[in-house]
Structure 1
Amino acid sequence: MNRPARLAVAALTVSAALLLTACGSGGGDDSSSDKIKGAGAGSEKTSASPSAPASQDAAGRPEITLSKDFQANFEGWTNSDPKLQAILDDGREELRSEYAAVIEADLNSDAVAFYNSDATLTTAHKWIKQFVDDDESLIGSVTAFDPQVHINDTGSGVLFYCVDERKASTKNRKTAKITTTADKPENVLQYRNRLDKNPQGVWKTTSSTVVPGACG
């Protein structure tokens, strides 16, 4: 998870920490380095940029609302396979939950905890805390695109996607100072996530690596 200039730096910090806990809960050591092999990945090009998730369901998925000053757009996040679509949906909400936590300065976001395993929750909190400590919020927009998803041999979901942060900025809550994101290739990030389905049917993120500039 990340944002402008210092956001990309935050992304690298999170990535390094997550590599140390990549095995998360379940799966072997190999599961943290899953490769997308062209299966099922964002095969349907329909653009989808929901401003809010589906209503709460039996699993108790939280409602996540973003500020009117910040938009997270999702392009091509549809798949004809219901199982893969479920991974896309929960993977999308995990990202949105962290954006919302930064905007709300909520270090103990229930939504972030809902979509993350113990292995990734600590690093997510550290990432959010950087913004809270600096009294910064998010404005502008990001676009998440080119999602690639499949289920590996161990039953874990593998989700790669790109996030273009070049139209996002941070805004200091007290001074109103805005820091824009540099228009550089490294501010288009690739997320490489593994998700595991819990007994309630929620695909929780169990490992995550962020690679700046990997989306070309």
Structure 2
Amino acid sequence: MARRALTITATAFATTAALLLTACGGGDDSASDDIRGAGTGSDSTAASPSAASGRPDVSLPSDLEVEFDITKPSDSRHAAALDSAKSYILALDHGITAQDPEDPAYKFYSLGSATKYAKSQIQAWVDDDWTATGSESYYRGRTDDVGTSKGVLVTMCRDQSKFYGKNVKTEKIRYTKESLNDFQEFRLLMKPPQDSQKVWKVLQIEVQGRVEDCRR
């Protein structure tokens, strides 16, 4: 299974950011240039299923481990946005290992193009008869306010040098050698809660491949 990462252009990402500003009721036209820094960190926390009542299962098989080496921001809004970004990523892997392109987990944590992205990624694995095994880690996390709106941009690096494809029919694992292809940067544009669920959702995702700065 070739590692698949949809790269969205900076222009498209900025356009969605501008739409988010409008939806949130504020902000100027220079959303992509008006971002303020927030928390960073490196405390290690292993991924675990959501314990919140009413939220979907994002647990993973015992042969797949996902680790988030990111400190929780002190700002409560940023912390909530980061938690949902993590859950969206776990939901992606949950859909892949469940072999279900219509898995409800990623739909719960996403909107618009982020929902389409998740479905397309899961569908590609299913169509090729692959599931995931091994481990992957996310680190060097950062959360930023988007302009003057209440949106939050979550940025993090990913290392998938030990993340492998496993054929669902033969259970043969496709091992790969570490390369720059294994290091990516994720940017997730998070929309504040709009209903009684009080859940931040991924509105847009940008994945930049072969990021030298994400090497550890």
TM-score tier, shorter chain, comes to 0.7 to 0.9
Is the 2:39–2:74 contact (alpha carbons within 8 Å) kept by the matching residues of 1?
Answer: no
1:113 equivalenced with 2:92 (yes/no): no
Match of 2:38 among 37, 40, 44: 40
Inter-CA distance 35–133: structure 2 relative to 1 (3 Å threshold): farther
Match of 1:198 among 177, 182, 193: 193
Q: Distance in 2 between matches of 1:210 and 1:65?
A: 23
Is the 2:64–2:135 contact (alpha carbons within 8 Å) kept by the matching residues of 1?
Answer: yes
AA matched with 1:129? Q
Q: Distance in 2 between matches of 1:18 and 1:198?
A: 25
Is the 2:40–2:71 contact (alpha carbons within 8 Å) kept by the matching residues of 1?
Answer: yes
Paired residue for 2:25? none
- Give the drift of 1:94: 0.3
1:90 equivalenced with 2:84 (yes/no): yes
Task: Give 1:68-147 correspondences, 5 Å limit.
Answer: 68-147=62-141
Moved over 4 A (4+): 17-22, 28-31, 33-37
Superimposed CA distance per residue, residues 74-128 of structure 1 (whole angstroms, 9 cap, x where no aligned partner): 1024122222111110000000000010000011111110111022211211111
> TM-score when scaled to structure 2?
0.84
Specify the structure having the higher radius of gyration (Cα): 2
AA matched with 1:159? V
Paired residue for 2:26? none
Is the 1:19–1:208 contact (alpha carbons within 8 Å) kept by the matching residues of 2?
Answer: no
The alignment's C-alpha RMSD in Å is 2.4
How many residue pairs are counted as aligned between the two chains? 202
- Give the drift of 1:176: 1.9
Q: Distance in 2 between matches of 1:88 and 1:18?
A: 21
Q: Distance in 2 between matches of 1:23 and 1:182?
A: 36
> TM-score when scaled to structure 1?
0.84
Is the 2:38–2:145 contact (alpha carbons within 8 Å) kept by the matching residues of 1?
Answer: no
Paired residue for 2:165? 170
- Comparing 175-184 with 165-174, which one deviates more in the overlay? 175-184
1:15 equivalenced with 2:13 (yes/no): no
Q: Distance in 1 between matches of 2:81 and 2:91?
A: 15
Superimposed CA distance per residue, residues 119-138 of structure 1 (whole angstroms, 9 cap, x where no aligned partner): 22112111111100011111
Q: Distance in 1 between matches of 2:170 and 2:106?
A: 28
1:183 equivalenced with 2:181 (yes/no): no
Structure 2 stretches lacking a partner, 5+ long: 23-28
Q: Percent identity?
A: 23
AA matched with 2:52? Q
Q: Distance in 1 between matches of 2:33 and 2:165?
A: 33
Inter-CA distance 176–17: structure 2 relative to 1 (3 Å threshold): farther
Q: Secondary structure at the match of 1:6?
A: coil
- Give the drift of 1:141: 0.1
Inter-CA distance 82–118: structure 2 relative to 1 (3 Å threshold): same
Inter-CA distance 196–166: structure 2 relative to 1 (3 Å threshold): same
Q: Distance in 2 between matches of 1:111 and 1:151?
A: 26
